[in-house]
A and B are shown apart, each in its own frame.
Chain A
Amino acid sequence: MSIAISIPHIFGTDFTQRVPWTVHIPFVVDRKFPRLEDTHLTTRNLNIRIGDTHILKDVNVEIPQNKITCIIGPSGCGKTTLLRTFNRLVDSIEGVKIDGQVNLGKQDIVAANAGQMSELRRNIGLVPQRPCPLPMSIYDNIAYGCRIHGVRGKRKLDLVVQHYLEAVGLWNEVKDRLHSPANKLSGGQQQRLCLARSLAVEPSYLLADESTSALDPISSKTVEDLFVKLKRDYSIVMVTHTLRQAQRIADYVIFMYLGEVIEQGDAKEVFSNPKHELTKTYLNGGIS
């Protein structure tokens, strides 16, 4: 594992405008959590029903490693449900029924018990749609994840906090007020904080549910750039409503329509040469 650390860039200190330059160096913070050997995330014949509604129909996907995978499709096609199946957040919906398999390596996500689920969610982080810092200080937001998994010791946590705040280019903006409440930060800063919070528990995957949609264009760009940098160390699955965002950053694309995966493949291939009629129509703005 290696990390990206920031060095102060040359155009002054307006970090909202640009992501600091990053260089790649070996991981300086000791790993706190065991690393999964097999991190393949796949679904096999995944069917999800909520009450009588068939939300996902026979979904078979394989998420490529260290790439940005964009799930695209019109509203209500089930892309968010698919994303939330990967970390079992679908469970919180009343009356949900999951059939089929979702595997992270050898582990069956659908069959995970409470203990496995905690570990699973640590391995598959979520960057929320709207920034939502936990009701605590900036420092505690980052340290919280480590604490709940039993990592103790101030010096250890100090390192973790600094490390991940640097990774998202937030360190220089907040280093003087680490112990002030996180909700005093701006929206874009909050979203980067949420990203750092997810990274701090050393996941293999990052799920992003339209994570830039609630941000202003500049913050949105900053977060987008971060995702591109992070794919070196993480596999990223992203739901997006904006086709242009997908075209900018996706390496792999899954197009869904009415609960079915219509087409998936290499981003360039799908965007330049879609095989399915529906994909063509969607890409041309015929379905929204």
Chain B
Amino acid sequence: MKKNNRLLKDRIAEQLMAIMTISSLLLVVAMAVGLYLKSVPILQEHSLWDLLTEGEWRPMADKFGFFPFLMGTLYVSLLALGIAIPISLLMAIYLTEYAHSVVKRYVFPFLDILAGLPSVIYGVWGMLVIVPWVSDVVAPSLRHDSSGYTVLATGVVLGVTVIPLLVSLFIEIFSNVGREIREAAWSLGATRWQTTKDVILRQTAPGVIAAVVLAASRTLGETIAVIMVCGNLAIVPSSLLDACYPIPALIANNYGEMLSLPLYESALMFAAFILFFVVLGFNLFSRLVLRKMENK
């Protein structure tokens, strides 16, 4: 009797966990469907192509061009990753391959704290330090006039925001490489740098790519720190010293206001749908790349 009870509990636990897992997955699907339904009105008024390629954003005049926001998101994310990836890689390599354990003992908790800081703090830091640095130092030295609220400032702030995440992911990945394979390279006479470059990075390439994708998703979707430093101007940035307006900032700034215009709400939902789609597509693409690499 007791034994049957035990098995029953096991069955119930299994089913319960399965239901929870499936329902959270369904939630994602429901969100996608919801966003799509909400953006149907604007898709009926304007063609998808026009929405994505038109540069003019004047909701009151029925002009909904998302091109500036797409470009803003793209530039800012690329710049952030361009800053964060090399720095994080070198930090992680130093910490796993070179640093003494005493260094690790002090740096690891510090990194965890940094990774856990709310992004609004990074935003404030950006406003107080990076924005003035851009407007007072960088722009004048390039004979340029700038408010400081620019692609450059946003890229730097975003880059710094994702560095702790990337470093801890990379450290995890590099530490998983077996000691034996390092020793194999060392015992041929390889230096630590040669070992890292030729063996560790090659072995962990799929993991490194997965980590970068995770960080990229984060930069694509980061909102609050971006709003604080990006300048929020709906223009296609033509240089690092122009303001920009990434999609998350657009949604967060405007949703809730002026929703008397039904098409406006629909446009913002469409923006959210684009963001959802970009992140999803990006992740799926990276999965494909990873599978290809692993099969090779």
Measured CB to CB, the residues of A under 8 A from B are 87, 89, 92, 94, 114, 117-122, 124-126, 128-130, 132, 134-136, 144-145, 148-149, 181, 194, 197-198, 201, 207
Contacts and interface: CB of A to CB of B under 8 A. Distances in A.
Contacts of B198: 134, 136, 144, 148
Given A94-B101, A128-B180, A148-B194, A134 B186 contact: no
Given A119-B189, A201-B189, A132 B296 contact: no
Contacts of A94: 101
Taking residues whose C-beta sits less than 8 angstroms from the other chain, chain B's interface range is 20 to 34
A126 B190 contact: no
Interface of B: 101, 178-191, 194, 198-199, 202-203, 296
Contact of A132 (B180, B188, B194): B180
A126 B189 contact: no
Given A92-B179, A128-B183, A145 B202 contact: no
A132 B184 contact: yes
B244 to A, nearest CB: 40
A194 B183 contact: no
Contacts of B184: 126, 128, 132, 134, 194, 197
A134 B190 CA distance: 12
23 contacts: A89-B187, A92-B179, A92-B182, A121-B186, A121-B189, A122-B189, A124-B187, A125-B188, A128-B183, A132-B178, A132-B180, A132-B181, A135-B199, A135-B203, A144-B188, A144-B190, A145-B188, A148-B188, A148-B190, A148-B194, A197-B184, A197-B188, A201-B189
Nearest to A201: B188
Given A92-B179, A128-B180, A181-B296, A135 B187 contact: no
A118 B190 CA distance: 6
Contact of B180 (A122, A129, A207): A129
Contact of A136 (B182, B186, B188, B202): B202
5 pairs of A and B residues whose beta carbons are closest in the complex: A126-B187, A122-B189, A145-B188, A135-B203, A118-B189
